[in-house]
Structure 1
Amino acid sequence: MIGGLGALDALSGSMRLGGVSGPLTPVAPSVSTSDFASAVAEAASRTIHTLGQAETVSMTALEGGNVQTREVVDAVMSAEQTLQAAISIRDKIVTAYLEVSRMAI
Structure 2
Amino acid sequence: MLPLASIAATAVAPLADTLVAQAPRLVAGAEAAAVSFGDVLQQFAASTVDSLKAGEASAIAGVDGKASVQNVVSTVMQAERDLHTAIALRDKAVAAYQEISRMAI
TM-score, scaled to structure 2: 0.66
Matched with 1:42 is 43
Superposed displacement of residue 11, structure 1: 6.5
Compared CA separation, residues 10 and 60, structure 1 to 2 (3 A): same
State the distance in 2 between where 1:12 and 1:80 align. Answer: 18
Matched with 1:8 is 21
Matched with 1:54 is 55
Is 1:11–1:36's contact at 8 Å kept on the other side of the alignment? no
- Tell me the SS of whatever aligns to 2:85: helix
* Alignment size in residue pairs: 81
Moved over 3 A (4+): 11-14
State the distance in 1 between where 2:64 and 2:58 align. Answer: 10
- Structure with the higher helix share, 1 or 2: 2
Q: Could you tell me the percent identity over the aligned residues?
A: 35
Superposed displacement of residue 60, structure 1: 1.1
Consecutive unaligned residues in structure 1, runs of 5 or more? 1-6, 15-29
> Within 5 A, what are the aligned runs for 1:22-33?
none
